[in-house]
Structure 1
Amino acid sequence: MTISIAAVGDLVLDEPDPAFFLAPSAAVITKADIAIGHIEVPHSHTTVQASTDVPAPAADPAALKDVAAAGFDVVTLAGNHIYDAGPEGLLDTIAFSRDAGLLTAGAGANLADARKPAVITKDGTTVGILSFNCVGPRDSWAASQKAGAAYVKVLTHYELDSATPGGPPTIYTFTAPDSLRSMQDDIRKLKAEVDLVVVALHKGIGHTPAVLADYEIPLSHAAVDAGADVVIGHHAHIMRGIEMYRGVPIFHGLGNFVTVTQALNADGESAERAEWAARRVKMFGFAPDPGMPTYPFHPESRNTAIAVCTFDGRRLVSAGFVPCWIDDDARPVPHGPTETGERVLAYITDISRSAGFSTTFTWDGEHVLVQAHPDQENHHV
Structure 2
Amino acid sequence: MSAPFSIVVTGQSLIRHDLRAVSDPRLTEIAQILKASDVAFTNLETTIHGRHGGWPLKGSYFGAAAPGVLPALKELGFNSLALANNHAFDLGPPGILSTMEEVAAQNFLHAGIGVDRHHAAKAQRKIFGTRSVALIAMDAGPGPSFMYAEDASDGRMARPGVNRLNVSRVFDLEVDAFNMLRSIQERFLSSALERANYAQPEDPPDLNGQDEIDFYGTVFRRSNDTVRRIVVDRHSASAQLSAIAEEAARDAFVIVYLHHHHWEPSWQQVPSWVREFAHDCVNAGAGLFVSHGAPVLQAIEIYRNTPIFYGLGNFLFHTEKEEREWSPPEVWKSVIATCNFGSGGRLEDISLRPIVIGGTEALSNSAGDRLPFPVLVDGRMAADILEDLADRSAGFNTVLSLENGIGRIAL
Task: Report the TM-score range of the alignment, normalised by the length of the smaller protein.
Answer: 0.7 to 0.9
Amino acid at match of 1:180: A
1:361 to 396, 400, 411: 400
Gap change, CA 1:241 and 1:102, over 3 Å in 2: same
Consecutive unaligned residues of structure 1, counting only runs of 5 or more, are 266-276, 278-286, 289-295, 373-381
Gap change, CA 1:297 and 1:228, over 3 Å in 2: farther
Q: 2:113: which partner in 1? A: 107
| Equivalent-residue separation in structure 2 for 1:13 and 1:297 (angstroms) | 18
Secondary structure of the 2:47 match is coil
**Is structure 2 residue 315 aligned with structure 1 residue 308?**
no
Q: Give the CA deviation at 1:47.
A: 5.3
Secondary structure of the 1:238 match is coil
Amino acid at match of 1:334: L
Q: Deviations over 1:146-191 (max 9, x none)?
A: 1111121112210124744579941111211111111110100111
Secondary structure of the 1:349 match is helix
Gap change, CA 1:245 and 1:132, over 3 Å in 2: same
**Is structure 2 residue 215 aligned with structure 1 residue 185?**
no
1:84 to 90, 96, 109: 90
Q: 2:76: which partner in 1? A: 70
Further displaced range: 318-327 or 359-368: 359-368
| Equivalent-residue separation in structure 2 for 1:259 and 1:297 (angstroms) | 12
Secondary structure of the 2:170 match is strand
Secondary structure of the 1:50 match is coil
Amino acid at match of 1:242: I
**Is structure 2 residue 393 aligned with structure 1 residue 343?**
no
Amino acid at match of 1:361: L
2:259 to 197, 202, 205: 202
Amino acid at match of 1:86: G
Q: Give the CA deviation at 1:17.
A: 3.7
Q: Deviations over 1:253-301 (max 9, x none)?
A: 1111101032x83xxxxxxxxxxx6xxxxxxxxx35xxxxxxx453211
Q: How many residues align?
A: 340
Consecutive unaligned residues of structure 2, counting only runs of 5 or more, are 152-157, 182-219, 363-369
After superposition, the CA RMSD in angstroms is 2.5
CA contact (8 A) 1:303 1:347 kept: no
Amino acid at match of 1:25: I
CA contact (8 A) 2:4 2:345 kept: no
**Is structure 2 residue 296 aligned with structure 1 residue 238?**
yes
Q: Give the CA deviation at 1:302.
A: 1.4
| Equivalent-residue separation in structure 1 for 2:117 and 2:54 (angstroms) | 24
1:32 to 21, 24, 37: 37
Q: Deviations over 1:345-377 (max 9, x none)?
A: 022123335xx32211023566422257xxxxx
Gap change, CA 1:18 and 1:201, over 3 Å in 2: farther
Secondary structure of the 1:95 match is helix
Q: 1:57: which partner in 2? A: 63
**Is structure 2 residue 267 aligned with structure 1 residue 226?**
no
| Equivalent-residue separation in structure 2 for 1:260 and 1:319 (angstroms) | 28
CA contact (8 A) 1:19 1:70 kept: no
| Equivalent-residue separation in structure 1 for 2:277 and 2:376 (angstroms) | 30
CA contact (8 A) 2:393 2:399 kept: no
Amino acid at match of 1:67: L
1:135 to 141, 162, 170: 141
Secondary structure of the 2:295 match is coil
CA contact (8 A) 2:48 2:66 kept: yes
Amino acid at match of 2:291: G
| Residue correspondence of structure 1 range 40-55 to structure 2 within 5 A | 40-45=45-50, 46=53, 48-51=55-58, 55=61
TM-score where L is the length of structure 1:
0.82
1:15 to 14, 17, 20: 17
Q: Give the CA deviation at 1:246.
A: 1.5
Gap change, CA 1:216 and 1:43, over 3 Å in 2: same
| Equivalent-residue separation in structure 1 for 2:98 and 2:269 (angstroms) | 34
| Equivalent-residue separation in structure 1 for 2:405 and 2:38 (angstroms) | 17
